[in-house]
Structure 1
């Protein structure tokens, strides 16, 4: 099995972006992405253009954008331009919307709206026009087929990914029950439209951390674990969680602060809330690849035995070059056993 890794690059100041992008490619990552969160981050496509010009091999795209904050013609032009600049390496990460939408006081898109949005983006690429909100818009025909990776957490959205997307990033965990849950629903969606499940790339969201001890590694990703727990608590996949954690997860979601999304600083952070609720160890077991390098290699080997070969890694820090170099040396290209 050839395991593939993606990594989030926070939209930071230009040189940090360039350094992190180059470090990700040198470390052996296959895909890099940047969240489209206009309220708390720099502009995503500007950042992705820097990433494209700093790299030669990795796939690049928004991880993820949404139907609420951008007209489909805007997304069609932005992602096609990125594909052109990068020499055909772009992908479109798409979801219904989370912190980018909630920080504007808006509601996330419905599943049907998201499917219509993707159809409109593809129509702009293929024909130069599309109907959106009952209005036919004219534009440029890009003649490009951009791969789509769909962000999905609940069974209905996972099935939709199986129907319409080239890949899915699943945010319900990487434990055996979570992996089976994802496969079941993606396969069901694929079957509805006569597709083979093998046509859809399954990326499993995970939070990475390397440290001298397990506890230190888990503490460093507390805010990310809280973000995963928040998603889990707000969807049907909560039913896959042991009863004793369901109440604390609901409390986490009820008090989650979107302006501090993925921010691990301060005693009032989401990570501190998850810690107070006694959720860190459970969420780390469900969502993270965290520990010493030896422990993380063992965790990955265990997931590979389940057939998991694509990890969608999320790290909320802006300057990742040192971490990426270590991950490449210790995990992607680990030292040979004595």
Structure 2
């Protein structure tokens, strides 16, 4: 059965309340962003959410390989895993707003892949070799560690924490296929693009001598509204955020129509990171009705359900539903989410 997740952001107490509501509404998981300049600490939030819930899975959506050493990331998510009695998921990507607000672009793919390798070592309870740049020898200690390990982590008490990579381009998909436990695509809701991501991952796993099958998921922009145009406006901030990932460096990646290519690259050119993910931003203004209908899912409940089922039929085991954007009318946003919970979510069970 497909897992249906929702997302959250904000101060830890707000994320905890969001997780409690999501669990009561029937969601299988909730993510919270890791963007230190724009939101509260994600691991504090997930730990608080763990104490107020008993079933729902808890994940970062997503962390990055820059702002924390892999040992620190592993320790933080392992702490959430212990507090939640085995419900944590480590979502990770190359980084976006968290890095941009420190003056950096996303981590290079090679660096990202090395981070994934080290992260998995820590989460598996293994010794991880010191990095070449280490200089602990300068302390001239009587004795010192020769490798790095999270000493308190005892594999086997709970299921291994899944590393779930958020991936868009072919190089990141391939790196995820080699090192992640799961891949959640951020390529929109166009079945052709999802199918391309799945085949790209499977091919990379086969080339690496691995079983081609791995759990796949997708981030999908969905707003339930009888008027698709109103739904699009409610969710345009999230659409601009995810669509930009497909043209992160100015050129669209993956299979695209001419309209998709034009809009993706237009969003890149117009992107204002100071209005990241917000309705009414310059990048949101680039979105057309045609693009929105392909990249996202906006419309009445039956339409949304049909589109989501078509994605699940491709082999997806997880959908992270991204609804109304920051800055959208709060009453309209609340009604749209309630309709998703009452009129769409049950049909996915």
| TM-score computed with the length of structure 2 as normaliser | 0.85
The 8 Å contact of residues 2 and 317 in structure 2, kept in 1 or not, is answered as yes
- How much has 1:130 moved relative to structure 2? 4.3
Aligned CA-pair RMSD: 2.6
Q: Distance in 1 between matches of 2:132 and 2:335?
A: 46
Residues 231/73 of structure 1: CA separation in 2 closer, same or farther (3 Å cut)? same
* Structure of greater relative contact order (alpha carbons < 8 Å, 6+ residues apart): 1
Structure 2 counterpart of 1:6: 5
**C-alpha offsets along residues 120-142 of structure 1, whole Å, 9 cap, x if unaligned?**
22333413654235435465341
Q: Distance in 1 between matches of 2:335 and 2:47?
A: 22
Q: Please, which moves more after superposition, 293-302 or 24-33? A: 293-302
Spell out the pairing of 1:102-251 with structure 2 (5 A cutoff). 102-125=100-123, 126-127=125-126, 130-135=129-134, 136-137=147-148, 139-144=150-155, 145-198=160-213, 200-234=214-248, 237-238=252-253, 240-251=255-266
Structure 1 counterpart of 2:137: none
- How much has 1:253 moved relative to structure 2? 0.5
The 8 Å contact of residues 208 and 290 in structure 1, kept in 2 or not, is answered as yes
The 8 Å contact of residues 19 and 321 in structure 1, kept in 2 or not, is answered as no
- How much has 1:91 moved relative to structure 2? 1.1
Residues 40/161 of structure 1: CA separation in 2 closer, same or farther (3 Å cut)? same
Residues 76/294 of structure 1: CA separation in 2 closer, same or farther (3 Å cut)? same
The DSSP-based 3-state class of the residue aligned with 2:106 is coil
Q: Please, which moves more after superposition, 326-335 or 200-209? A: 326-335
The 8 Å contact of residues 252 and 264 in structure 2, kept in 1 or not, is answered as no
Q: Please, which moves more after superposition, 95-104 or 23-32? A: 23-32
Structure 1 counterpart of 2:304: 296
| TM-score computed with the length of structure 1 as normaliser | 0.87
**C-alpha offsets along residues 92-144 of structure 1, whole Å, 9 cap, x if unaligned?**
11111111111111132122212222222233341365423543546534134
The 8 Å contact of residues 298 and 304 in structure 2, kept in 1 or not, is answered as yes
The DSSP-based 3-state class of the residue aligned with 2:5 is strand
The 8 Å contact of residues 224 and 337 in structure 2, kept in 1 or not, is answered as no
The 8 Å contact of residues 101 and 107 in structure 1, kept in 2 or not, is answered as yes
Spell out the pairing of 1:317-336 with structure 2 (5 A cutoff). 317=326, 324-334=337-347
The 8 Å contact of residues 244 and 264 in structure 2, kept in 1 or not, is answered as yes
Structure 1: gaps (5+ residues):
none
Structure 2 counterpart of 1:274: 284
The 8 Å contact of residues 169 and 253 in structure 2, kept in 1 or not, is answered as no
* Count of residue pairs the alignment pairs up: 326
Spell out the pairing of 1:58-97 with structure 2 (5 A cutoff). 58-97=56-95
The 8 Å contact of residues 218 and 284 in structure 1, kept in 2 or not, is answered as yes
Structure 1 counterpart of 2:318: 310
Q: Distance in 2 between matches of 1:22 and 1:322?
A: 18
Q: Distance in 1 between matches of 2:233 and 2:337?
A: 19
Asked if 1:259 corresponds to 2:274, the answer is yes
- Look at both structures and tell me which one has the larger radius of gyration over its CA atoms: 2
- How much has 1:187 moved relative to structure 2? 0.2
Q: Distance in 2 between matches of 1:54 and 1:323?
A: 25
Residues 317/243 of structure 1: CA separation in 2 closer, same or farther (3 Å cut)? closer
- How much has 1:180 moved relative to structure 2? 1.8
Structure 2: gaps (5+ residues):
135-146
The DSSP-based 3-state class of the residue aligned with 2:88 is coil
**C-alpha offsets along residues 118-173 of structure 1, whole Å, 9 cap, x if unaligned?**
22223334136542354354653413431110111111111111111111111112
